[in-house]
Structures are given as structure tokens and as C-alpha cells.
């Protein structure tokens, strides 16, 4: 019996520069993390925390107003290295698939790890669910997370741009898409024997 497979649904919120501001050497840093661990279609752990940025510790006004995150919240958050350790712990016990909406979360995490001189915490397949959604529905453009869930006639969980709420919403869309995929899988083609009752046919000519 193989180990149980784990799906980690992840969403991060990042720092943002002021519009038109000259932030020399700016790069986005994770300031809030939401992770949902799912095994056997059951949520077995939820993790949520603010994270203190290192390179640009003071949030821009644009970032605070867009994400509704205060300076005090990130100042009291965990360190980035503590976040990396938490992610390592969640990933190491079993085979794992990482699922995000869009490719920014993993790109920013990789860059933040490089900047901090620490190893990337995840092993396993990474899936950008927004691209799966785009291919599945044949959309021309990538759809935003909450627009996608509303296209299913549902509402997102909690508040948009709250990391854990967005991670839970990503999980909900994943379940809806997987259900649709199963529904659309073609059944095995019937053989001629299934379509014609040969016993009746032979009796007719007997």
C-alpha cells in the first residue's frame, strides 16, 4: 500500500511598490501565507500567518490599501525562514502536489528563498490551476480566482486577497473542475455484442 497523497493548496499575498515610485532593487516579498492540506478529499490542516518582509520592511500605502493589511500585522508576523520551515514540515511526510491559482506564488517563493539563501521547501508536482481551468474551458484569457468560482455559480470563501480564504477558494474550484472532468470522461465504447442481442438474432433464423 503506497503512502497517501497530499494536495497543498497555497496562496500568498506580496509587498507592492508605490505606483510610479522608484523602489531601487524592489522585488515582491511574501507578507501573508495561506495553506490548505488535503488528503483523501478531506482537509486535514489549515495554516495562516502574516510574514515580516526583509528587504522592504515598510509596506507601501498602495499595498496596505489594496490588501487591507496593516504595518502592525506584518511586524508581528513570523519570519520568512519560519514560514519555509513550516512548509518543509507540511511537505516532507508524504508524496505531495502543490496547487496554486496562477504561477506568481511559486515564482515569488523561489525568488524569496534565493534572496534569503535558503532551499526551496517543496518537492513534488506543481500545478497552476488557472491554466488547467483555461485549458479545460477553452478560455482565451486567464480568469481571476474569484471570477472563476463565480462562473460556477458559487461564491469565494471569506474575503478575496486574504491568503487562507483564497487558498480555500482554490481548493473549491479544484473540486468543481475535477468533478466536471470525471463527468466528461467518455465511457468505454460499447461492442457490437452489447448493442445486438445475438441469442434473439440466432433464434429468429433457427
Q: Which of 58, 6, 7, 2 is nearest to 31 (CA)?
A: 58
The CA-CA-CA angle for residues 106, 67, 155, to 5°, reads 80
Specify whether 13 is catalytic. yes
Q: Cell triple for residue 21?
A: 515610485
Catalytic residue (choose from 3, 13, 151, 178) = 13
Specify whether 76 is catalytic. no
Pairwise CA distance, residues 151 & 8, whole Å: 24
Terminal alpha carbon distance of the chain: 54
Q: Which helix (H) or strand (E) holds 134?
A: helix 129-137
Pairwise CA distance, residues 69 & 131, whole Å: 28
Catalytic residue (choose from 85, 126, 151, 161) = 161
Pairwise CA distance, residues 34 & 144, whole Å: 18
Catalytic residues: 13, 161
Amino acid at each position: 500500500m503506497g503512502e497517501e497523497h497530499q494536495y497543498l493548496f497555497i496562496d500568498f499575498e506580496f509587498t507592492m511598490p508605490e505606483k510610479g515610485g522608484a523602489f531601487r532593487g524592489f522585488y515582491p516579498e511574501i507578507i501573508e501565507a495561506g495553506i490548505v492540506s488535503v488528503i483523501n478529499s478531506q482537509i486535514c490542516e489549515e495554516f495562516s500567518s502574516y510574514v515580516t518582509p526583509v528587504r522592504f520592511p515598510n509596506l507601501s500605502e498602495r499595498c496596505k490599501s489594496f490588501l487591507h493589511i496593516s504595518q502592525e500585522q506584518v511586524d508581528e508576523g513570523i519570519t520568512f525562514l519560519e514560514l519555509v520551515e513550516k512548509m518543509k514540515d507540511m511537505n516532507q511526510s508524504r508524496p505531495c502536489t502543490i496547487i496554486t491559482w496562477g504561477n506568481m506564488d511559486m515564482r515569488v517563493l523561489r525568488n524569496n528563498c534565493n534572496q534569503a539563501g535558503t532551499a526551496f521547501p517543496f518537492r513534488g508536482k506543481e500545478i497552476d490551476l488557472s491554466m488547467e481551468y483555461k485549458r479545460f474551458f477553452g478560455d482565451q484569457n486567464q480568469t481571476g480566482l474569484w471570477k472563476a468560482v463565480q462562473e460556477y455559480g458559487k461564491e469565494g470563501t471569506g474575503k478575496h486577497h486574504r491568503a487562507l480564504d483564497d487558498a480555500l477558494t482554490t481548493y473549491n474550484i479544484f473540486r468543481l473542475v475535477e468533478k466536471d472532468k470525471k463527468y466528461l470522461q467518455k465511457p468505454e465504447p460499447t461492442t457490437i455484442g452489447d448493442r445486438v442481442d445475438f441469442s434473439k438474432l440466432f433464434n429468429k433464423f433457427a
